[in-house]
Structure 1
Amino acid sequence: MEIRQSKQPNFFLKKRVRLSVMIGLLGVLYVGAAVILNFNSAAFLYLDRGMIWLFQNFIPTSQSITYWYSITQALLRTFVVAVAATSVAGVLAFVLAILGAKSTGPSRTLSWVIRGFASIMRNIPIVGWAMLLLFSFKQNDFTGFLALLFLSVGFLTRAFMETIEDVDVEKIQALQVTGASYLQVISQAVLPEITTPLISWLLYMIENNIRDATLVGLLTGTGIGFVFDLYFKSLRYGPAGLVVLAIIILVIAVELVSNYVERRIAA
């Protein structure tokens, strides 16, 4: 009993020491970054002024409503590009995931190659893809589509592979023992188990790509990102605020639809 009581204070003492070291390390990193970047920490004292200016200038006015048609047209193009990129990426990622998953892949070598490919594709940020593709495809919707497609393929391939590998291997082996072909095993043992999570991943990726498409539009000169950049640089803050509001409404609407579809599928 005495041994247990002596161990408990030591355990909590070690946790407090680790927490203190971590907080101290974060503080040192912040101070170092502030010195290197010449960042004035006193700017936090004037944060309220910045917020006041933001709400005074970026609140849409009655005059801003005249820009609504142009904003909705650009928003629709952004939405279509995001959905199209996710849809194509979903098909490509599904094929790659089937071939790369340990339980359904034809070989370990191919599985490692696909895993490496997916890691490279998803670890290059969307801004990196957009800037690379700008050199070849210039500023247009297709450049944004490709940037979203490449990142989505990498992300969805990895997500689909993990989902497929969660399927009970005994079901796959049972069909293989009966002499079922490779396609029969996939359609009867794998697809019924992974359909719901795969749709959830696709819906999540659509939401994410809508947000990323806004940023990509700033670089590719298309969609809602370009419209916001145009209004902001021309000091039309009211319409720029309306653009932000439209993006928020679209993202929330897509999220609500996604939640509804997921509930219907799970029911």
Structure 2
Amino acid sequence: MEESRSFFRAKTLSFLAMVVVFLLVNALSATYVGFDFIDAAAEVPAGVAWMAAEFLPTVESLSKLDSILPALASTVLVSVASSCIAAVFAFALAVLGSRTVGVGKVAAFLARAVASVFRNIPVVAWALILLFSFKQSEFTGFLALFLTTFGYLTRCFLETIDEMSTGPIEALQAAGATYFQIFAQAVLPMTIASAISWVLYMVETNVRDATLVGILTGTGIGFVFDIYYKSFRYDVAGLAILAVVVVVIACEMTSNFVRRRII
């Protein structure tokens, strides 16, 4: 009994110590950058009121839907294309670099290194880097989304393949199956549901990221938003934001429905 009390006492003290450290770090950070939480909190109601008044779409702004909807469709298509194409390359690299069915330690190291590099560079940074080579175009936005998605999915697929049961693989190896037969009969059937789930998640994420990328690359709904925002047509900019929100929610609902069907 005494040991149990000591254990929970130590856990409680550790938790309190982490909370104190967290608060101290936040206080020091706020002091360093000159951030005043009380003043910021006091400005929130005024900021919310301004956004509600300025960004609320009007009847007049609905006339701009003919320019918003095509740009929104372009953004969604780029997001889907970059996610699906990146998934194919990421899955191939993950299989080759897997510790379970990979082709060696060197391939495993390279696959994880590539995934870390591509995944840890933000999509905005990729867009800025690629702008110097490919200028403002749909292809620049596609590449930025593709590279980030490729790194993220490679990491996810590596973990999925490494965590699967090795029983079917060992049985096929014992029966003399080739590498491609093992992939087709064991690896693919056991990982396809999880892989599709990750791809659907990335489609949702890329629709949101593509809006920001579009501002930089001058394409899609992000470019339309930027034009109206800089023209002080906040009502139309708010309509563009609302359209993006509706599409993201629709993508999430579709993704959840598909996940329930396949998992």
With the length of structure 1 as denominator, give the TM-score of the two structures.
Answer: 0.93
| 8 Å Cα contact 1:34/1:40 also seen in 2 | no
- Answering whether residue 208 of structure 2 is matched by residue 198 of structure 1, we say no
Pick which of 13-22 and 252-261 moved more: 13-22
- Answering whether residue 177 of structure 2 is matched by residue 184 of structure 1, we say no
From 174, 190, 213, give the equivalent of 2:210.
213
Deviation track 1:80-139 (CA, whole Å, cap 9, x = no partner) reads 111111111011001101101111111111110111011101100001100000000000
- Answering whether residue 225 of structure 2 is matched by residue 236 of structure 1, we say no
Question: What residue in structure 2 maps to residue 132 of structure 1?
Answer: 129
From 74, 77, 85, give the equivalent of 1:77.
74
Once the two structures are TM-superposed, the CA of residue 16 in structure 1 deviates from its matched residue by 2.5
**Alpha-carbon separation, structure 1, partners of 2:3 and 2:101:** 52
**Alpha-carbon separation, structure 2, partners of 1:145 and 1:199:** 20
Question: What residue in structure 2 maps to residue 122 of structure 1?
Answer: 119
Question: What residue in structure 1 maps to residue 29 of structure 2?
Answer: 29
From 74, 91, 96, give the equivalent of 1:94.
91
Deviation track 1:57-98 (CA, whole Å, cap 9, x = no partner) reads 110000000001110000000001111111110110011011
One-letter code aligned to 1:49: A
Gap change, CA 1:13 and 1:88, over 3 Å in 2: closer
- Answering whether residue 149 of structure 2 is matched by residue 152 of structure 1, we say yes
Gaps of 5+ in 2: none
Gap change, CA 1:99 and 1:56, over 3 Å in 2: same
Partner-residue secondary structure (3-state), 1:74: helix
One-letter code aligned to 2:41: F
| 8 Å Cα contact 1:86/1:149 also seen in 2 | yes
Partner-residue secondary structure (3-state), 2:102: coil
Gap change, CA 1:235 and 1:187, over 3 Å in 2: same
- Answering whether residue 259 of structure 2 is matched by residue 262 of structure 1, we say yes
From 164, 168, 175, give the equivalent of 2:165.
168
Gap change, CA 1:116 and 1:48, over 3 Å in 2: same
Once the two structures are TM-superposed, the CA of residue 177 in structure 1 deviates from its matched residue by 1.2
Gap change, CA 1:41 and 1:33, over 3 Å in 2: farther
Question: What residue in structure 1 maps to residue 219 of structure 2?
Answer: 222
Cα RMSD of the aligned pairs, angstroms, is 1.7
Once the two structures are TM-superposed, the CA of residue 15 in structure 1 deviates from its matched residue by 3.5
Partner-residue secondary structure (3-state), 2:34: helix
- Identity in percent: 46
**Alpha-carbon separation, structure 2, partners of 1:112 and 1:171:** 25
- Answering whether residue 105 of structure 2 is matched by residue 105 of structure 1, we say no
Runs of 4+ in 1 over 4 A off after TM superposition: 1-11
One-letter code aligned to 1:134: L
Gap change, CA 1:10 and 1:161, over 3 Å in 2: closer
One-letter code aligned to 2:32: G
One-letter code aligned to 1:128: A
Once the two structures are TM-superposed, the CA of residue 33 in structure 1 deviates from its matched residue by 2.3
**Alpha-carbon separation, structure 2, partners of 1:259 and 1:14:** 38
Gap change, CA 1:240 and 1:168, over 3 Å in 2: same
**Alpha-carbon separation, structure 2, partners of 1:149 and 1:160:** 16
Once the two structures are TM-superposed, the CA of residue 187 in structure 1 deviates from its matched residue by 0.6
With the length of structure 2 as denominator, give the TM-score of the two structures.
Answer: 0.95
**Alpha-carbon separation, structure 2, partners of 1:93 and 1:5:** 49
**Alpha-carbon separation, structure 2, partners of 1:146 and 1:6:** 55
